[in-house]
Amino acid sequence: MSNFQYDPSAIEYSAKVSNKRLKKATALIGDKMVKRIIGLALFFLGANRNKICEILNLPLGTFLTFLNRFDKCGTDAFSKKKPPVKAVQAAPQAELLYEYNATQSKLNLSDKILLLPISSNNSLQHKVLILSFFNWGLISSSEAARQLDFSERHIRELAQNLEANDVGSLIDKRQGQQQDYNFTTEVKAELIQQFTFNVATGKSSSSKHLCQQVNEVCNTQVSDRSVRLYMNKLGLSGIKNSLFEMLEDFKKNSRD
């Protein structure tokens, strides 16, 4: 057993130097390898696995797989590639019978039928199931494409992503992130202001009209769909009539 002990707090760190070294290392051996090295070092120093993955933006399953491979292969785990998955012997006879609107799937393998109960609401589970069957050699890319209504090229890309980065890679976070990025506090405030002004002056308060106004004032490119989404989030769609009535009552009382 090693007597080596290390206290990370005893060493001074420089963010500037770190960024320079990381940039150089990434250019030399790639981002994935750099993350593996840092992750393993943090693991040796007693860091929590979940925190390591959070800091390095790594899927937990991928990191745990790497740690298991390191336990078995040592430093070869850094360069050793996974052996290709062998197709199941029964693959030529495999037939996937799947009805997404039904309550179950059937995988017919030779003389055996495997019942797979899947809710019609679980679209991600359905996607993982089909892509896993493709990765395991149970169905062809054309069959997977038919099941998911994707192109065969997209099926292969998704299957590789699933194999390398786990299920999280199949969740599309880009749309929500883009909306949040575009809809800054300034844009939200302008949306509310334009909506209120349009209602007060009898102009159109449609999402399309508001979208044009907000983009012109804020010099942005938010979409009509995003405007509708935030109008619903902010509850603007539900107060259009009541706000107009309140303004009319106020005008009437002011005249009296």
Which tens digits make up the pLDDT trace of 204-240? 888 888 888 888 888 888 888 888 888 888 888 788 7
Q: Which three-class secondary structure state does DSSP give residue 86?
A: coil
Q: Any idea what DSSP says for residue 120? A: T
Please tell me whether residues 241 and 202 are part of one structural domain: yes
Inside any domain, residue 138 = yes
Inside any domain, residue 65 = yes
Phi then psi dihedrals of residue 98, to 5 deg = -135, 130
Which helix H or strand E contains 95, and what residues bound it? Answer: strand 95-98
Q: For the chain, how many structural domains are there in total?
A: 3
pLDDT at 96 over 70: no
User: What's the first-to-final CA gap in the chain, in angstroms?
Assistant: 92
Ranges 33-37, 55-59, 86-90, 125-129: which has the least confidence = 86-90
What domain range includes position 102? 91-170
Inside any domain, residue 62 = yes
Please tell me whether residues 69 and 123 are part of one structural domain: no
Q: What's the order of all strands across the beta sheet hosting 104-109?
A: 95-98, 104-109, 112-117
Altogether, the residues listed in the chain come to a count of: 256
Inside any domain, residue 125 = yes
**Amino acid letter, 58:** L
Instruction: Tell me the H-state helices in 136-184.
Output: 141-148, 152-165, 174-182
CA atoms within 13 A on the CB side of 223: 9
Give every CB contact of residue 83 below 8 A, 6+ residues apart in sequence. Answer: none
Please tell me whether residues 157 and 186 are part of one structural domain: no
Please tell me whether residues 165 and 195 are part of one structural domain: no
Phi then psi dihedrals of residue 117, to 5 deg = -70, 120
